[in-house]
Amino acid sequence: MRKLISIGTSLLYATLLSSSSPQQDPDPFLTKPYLQIGDAPSLSGATTMMVLWHAGQAADDWKVEVQTSRDKSWRAAGQPVGQTVSAPAGQPQIAGRNGAKKDAPAPPAIDPHIVYRVRLTDLVPGEEFHYRILKKGVPVFDAVGRARKSQRQGYRFVLFGDCSQGTPSQKAIAYRAYLAKPDFLFITGDIVYGSGRISEYRNKFFPVYNTDEPSVANGAPLLRSVPFIAAPGNHDTALANFQRFPDALAYFLYWDQPLNGPVPPDGAVKATHVLTGSAEAQAAFRQGAAPRYPRMANYSFDYGNSHWTVIDANTYMDWSNPSLREWLQKDLAAAQSAAWRFVAFHQPGFNSSKEHFNEQQMRALAPIFEAGHVDVVFAGHVHNYQRSFPLEFVPKAQPDGTLRGPKGEVAGDWKLDKEFRNGEHGKPHGVVYIVSGGGGAELYNPEQQSDPSSWQPFTDKFISQVHSMSVVDMEGKTFRLKQISETGDVVDSFRIAK
């Protein structure tokens, strides 16, 4: 087993290794430990962090210990709590039925397994902490994380969407993200392809973002040290057909994020998804997803001097619903003392790609973002990178009084701040809209990068020939974004200074 890393060193990422003790055989983990911010939306949560892992069987011999710079030695964390997750077998897929494109055998059942959760407490905001998992009193895993930053501490985040498709680019971006040493990593939806299933998390998500050794070819040990935070995309939560995929909606089973969003009436159309398929599969899902389903689709949290609002932009949501709009307005109004306000969701309102062009439903919220003094809106869904000019938008109603046209388009007038450039010449007038959907899935519209005549008037930058991620540094009243390609090149950069 490797020597323990001393707390407070900068060696965290250089020396991070998991250590499975040779005394423990077989590997006790179905999925190795990973960090989540948990249901701790406010900065008081900066002293806490959730650790999750999956195991094949329930056992009461797990222990977790933590050490911070204030601890002379390891101290016990709370007792891990296990929750059983399972899914029955699905139905054979027949082309043309239930959305199946081709015939396929029935998806196999997912054996019952246990998702363990433990909350680390009394962390020192912004500082490294060391944690380890013990089984039968023997350490079987250890890693170093960093507690959430407090209001006066700068921070760095990496952001991308549309990632876990098992491609070489997904792994290269994971490696680049690891090299960037972020405080957290945000995924703007479409976390796993193609249907947000347990089996897909096991094949394409955990092995890439929590592999033991960092490499361009395989990914990196990120999840154990860097909390991931996510917005749900269509591939995560819009395919709630349990007849076809009984192990769908794994977002609600495996993530642990704030539960402070609006509470949709269970199953209400246009306020949450509607589950379909076998009663057995639905019951298994609900057991594993409580209390996160459906509430965890929308939430907000504070990190450093910023407030983040994360919303579900899937088309089963109707953001003209007054109660949803009111929640968003109130959330932003309550965050006016934060230095920065960011909103993140999956489907972009302002997109120049021919792909997904008509999915403009989120434009309808632009006036709320502007009134709430939102600085930057992050989206994914479109597999490339786009940056808008700072803009203000006034939606125009269709003849029937609704905002969305027959294809989903939202008409209106925009006012563009073309003087802003890269932020070197003053403050932006309006909201900057970022599409950062180049996290690994196949790129969209590479031909448009060199053809600005194909871009919409609101688009300033358009990078679609290479996968990329956003690396953002927050330091007081300065925001700096660098868009880094999978080969490490800076393909865009800008700053906002207040």
When the beta carbons of 65 and 190 are compared against Fe ion, the nearer one is 190
**CA Rg value for the chain:** 22
Residue closer to Fe ion (CB basis): 178 or 433:
433
Min dist. Cβ of residue 282 to Fe ion (A): 24
Strand partners, 393: 414
Closer Cβ to Fe ion, 143 or 435, answer by number:
435
**Residues binding Fe ion: what is the number (CB under 5 A)?**
4
By CB under 5 A, is residue 352 in contact with Fe ion?
A: no
Residue number with CB closer to Fe ion (233 or 288)? 233
Compute CA distances 185 → 145, 171, 287, 476, whole Å. 13, 15, 28, 20
Q: Which is nearer to Fe ion, 187 or 281 (CB)?
A: 187
Single out the segment in contact with Fe ion by CB under 5 A; choices: 50-58, 136-144, 184-192, 457-465: 184-192
Q: Classify residue 457 by burial, with Cβ atoms within 10 Å: 0-12, 13-18, 19+.
A: exposed
Check residue 273 for interaction with Fe ion (CB under 5 A): no
Q: How far apart are CA 366 and CA 385, in angstroms?
A: 20
Burial of 7 (0-12, 13-18, 19+ CB in 10 A): middle
| C-alpha angle 410-411-413 in degrees, rounded to nearest 5 | 130
Stretch that binds Fe ion, among 50-58, 221-229, 232-240, 479-487 (CB under 5 A): 232-240
Nearer to Fe ion, 40 or 163 (CB): 163
**Residues numbered 203-222 forming contacts with Fe ion, rule: CB under 5 A:** none
The yes or no reply on residue 183 touching Fe ion (CB under 5 A) is: no
Instruction: Spell out a b/e string for 41-75, using b for 16 or more CB atoms within 10 Å of the CB, else e.
Output: bebebbbbbbbbbbbeeeeeebbbbbbbeeeeebe
Beta strands 138-146 and 128-135, pairing class: antiparallel
In the 8-state DSSP scheme, what is residue 265?
P
Find the part of the chain contacting Fe ion (CB under 5 A) among 92-100, 186-194, 245-253, 260-268: 186-194
In the complex, minimum distance from the CB of residue 404 to Fe ion, in angstroms, rounded to a whole number: 18
| 140 versus 231: smaller Cβ distance to Fe ion | 231
Q: What is the DSSP string of 269-310?
A: TTTS---BS-HHHHHHHHHHHTTTTTGGGSEEEEETTEEEEE
From the list 229, 204, 231, the residue with the least C-alpha distance to 219 is 204
Q: Does 130 bind Fe ion (CB under 5 A)?
A: no
Which residues touch 470 (CB under 8 Å, ≥6 apart)? 158, 159, 160, 378, 385, 434, 436, 481, 482, 483, 484
Q: Which is nearer to Fe ion, 190 or 460 (CB)?
A: 190
Q: Which is nearer to Fe ion, 233 or 428 (CB)?
A: 233
Q: Which stretch binds Fe ion (CB under 5 A): 10-18, 234-242, 309-317, 324-332?
A: 234-242
User: HSE on the CB side for 397, CA within 13 Å?
Assistant: 5
Of the pair 277, 437, the CB lying nearest Fe ion is at 437
| Span interacting with Fe ion, options 37-45, 182-190, 309-317, 364-372, rule CB under 5 A | 182-190
Residues 6+ apart with CB under 8 A from 113: 30, 54, 55, 56, 57, 84, 85, 86
Of 284 and 379, the one with the shorter C-beta distance to Fe ion is 379
Sign for the CA dihedral angle at 187, 189, 190, 196 comes to positive
Q: Give the separation between CA 293 and CA 190, rounded to whole angstroms.
A: 18
Sketch the per residue contact string, 367 through 406, with Fe ion: x for CB under 5 A, - otherwise: --------------x-------------------------
Q: Does 312 bind Fe ion (CB under 5 A)?
A: no
Taking a C-beta distance cutoff of 8 angstroms, is the pair 438, 466 a contact?
Answer: yes
Near Fe ion by CB under 5 A: residue from 33, 182, 233, 423: 233
> Which residues does 465 contact at the CB level (< 8 Å), separation at least 6?
443, 446, 449
For residue 132, the surrounding DSSP H or E stretch is: strand 128-135
Q: How far is the CB of 355 from Fe ion (least distance, A)?
A: 10
Phi, psi of 368 (to 5 degrees): -70, -40
> Least CB distance from residue 190 to Fe ion, whole Å?
4
Report the nearest approach of Fe ion to the CB of residue 55 (Å): 31
Rounded least distance, CB 381 to Fe ion, Å: 4
Stretch that binds Fe ion, among 80-88, 188-196, 426-434, 465-473 (CB under 5 A): 188-196
Which strands form 81-87's sheet, in the order they lie side by side? 31-36, 49-55, 110-120, 81-87
Residue in the shown chain whose Cβ atom is closest to Fe ion = 381
Give yes or no for residue 468 binding Fe ion (CB under 5 A).
Answer: no
Residue 311 or 474 with smaller CB distance to Fe ion: 311
Is residue 190 part of the contact set for Fe ion (CB under 5 A)?
yes
Give me the least distance between CB of 165 and Fe ion, in Å please: 11
Q: From the CB of residue 30, how many other CB atoms can be counted at a distance below 10 Å?
A: 16
Q: How far is the CB of 238 from Fe ion (least distance, A)?
A: 9
Does 164 interact with Fe ion (rule: CB under 5 A)? no
Cβ of residue 363: shortest distance to Fe ion, in angstroms? 17
Q: Which two tokens stand for residue 104?
A: 């396929």
In whole angstroms, how close is the CB of 233 to Fe ion at the nearest point? 4
Q: Which is nearer to Fe ion, 143 or 187 (CB)?
A: 187
Q: Match 């897929």 to its residue by tokens.
A: 93
Give the residue, chosen from 68, 86, 170, 234, that forms a contact with Fe ion under the rule CB under 5 A: 234
Q: Is 48 helix (H, G, I), strand (E, B) or coil?
A: coil
Q: Does 93 bind Fe ion (CB under 5 A)?
A: no
**Which residues form the interface with Fe ion (CB under 5 A)?**
190, 233-234, 381
